[in-house]
Structure 1
Amino acid sequence: MAFSTEELATYESILDAYIERNRPPAEIRDKVDLSYRIERQSVVIFEIRPSMFRPGEKIEEAVAKTTYVRTTNHWRVFWQRADLKWYGYEPDPIVQELPEFLRLVEEDEYNCFYG
């Protein structure tokens, strides 16, 4: 089930603030930028870069993902490995609130999200 209108507005506000805090300087955003997408119960944070193989096109490179589990009222945290599959983030695969997930991504203590 997708987020309610109220939940969506709250999460978008939190995510917009995160993106503004972590975006690269305006003068290099044509080379690398940061954004997010909400897909049903999941949030994916990704970088936007020019394609090396298709000049003029942009590609999205996933940074981190979290999925809200309504039945247990928590967020599952994932990182993407080189095989492009999502894996549960250890040691904190579950957080209670979206800002906790964003804090994990910002700190990136184990270099899983930004490498």
Structure 2
Amino acid sequence: MAFSEFEAKKIERAASEFLTSRRPPVEIRPRLDLDVRVSGQSVQIVETRPHFREPSTIIESPVAKATFVKKSQRWKIYWMRSDLNWHSYTPEPESRSIEEFFAIVNGCFFG
């Protein structure tokens, strides 16, 4: 189930504010950048960079993900561990809003 138009705009606005505060300077973005992707009921933050041996190939590394649980009206927060699986982010396993999710990621994942 996709987000409603209102929810999608809210996510878009929160993602834009997050990216404005966290993206590297414009001159660095071809070598390292951040992106926010929406898929189904999830919002994912992804780091992108060229492959070190094949610069024409872009590597995408997932950083964090929030999945909306309609029943509880909460966002479940996950992080990608070295085993390449999503794990619940134990210090803050859920948030009440998408804005809170981005604030948690901004403070805890990027310091």
Shorter-chain TM-score bucket reads: over 0.9
* CA distance in 2: counterparts of 1:55 and 1:22, whole angstroms: 23
SS across alignment from 2:27:
helix
Alignment match, 1:83: 83
Q: Which amino acid aligns with 1:68?
A: F
Residue 62 (1) aligns with residue 68 (2): no
**Residue ranges of structure 1 left out of the alignment (5+ in a row):** none
Q: How does 1:1-115 map to 2 (within 5 A)?
A: 1-108=1-108, 113=109
Instruction: Please say which of residues 5-14 and 33-42 is displaced more in the overlay.
Output: 5-14
TM-score (norm 1): 0.90
Q: Which amino acid aligns with 1:29?
A: R
SS across alignment from 1:27:
coil
* CA distance in 2: counterparts of 1:78 and 1:70, whole angstroms: 17
Displacement after TM superposition at 1:55 (Å): 2.6
Contact 2:14 2:102 in 1 (8 A): no
* CA distance in 2: counterparts of 1:64 and 1:46, whole angstroms: 7
SS across alignment from 1:54:
coil
**Residue ranges of structure 2 left out of the alignment (5+ in a row):** none
SS across alignment from 2:55:
coil
* CA distance in 2: counterparts of 1:49 and 1:41, whole angstroms: 26
Q: Which amino acid aligns with 1:81?
A: R
Q: Which amino acid aligns with 2:103?
A: R
Displacement after TM superposition at 1:32 (Å): 0.2
TM-score (norm 2): 0.93
Give the number of equivalent residue pairs. 111
SS across alignment from 2:79:
strand
Displacement after TM superposition at 1:9 (Å): 1.2
After the TM superposition, which segments of 4 or more aligned residues of structure 1 sit over 4 Å from their partners?
none
* CA distance in 1: counterparts of 2:49 and 2:36, whole angstroms: 14
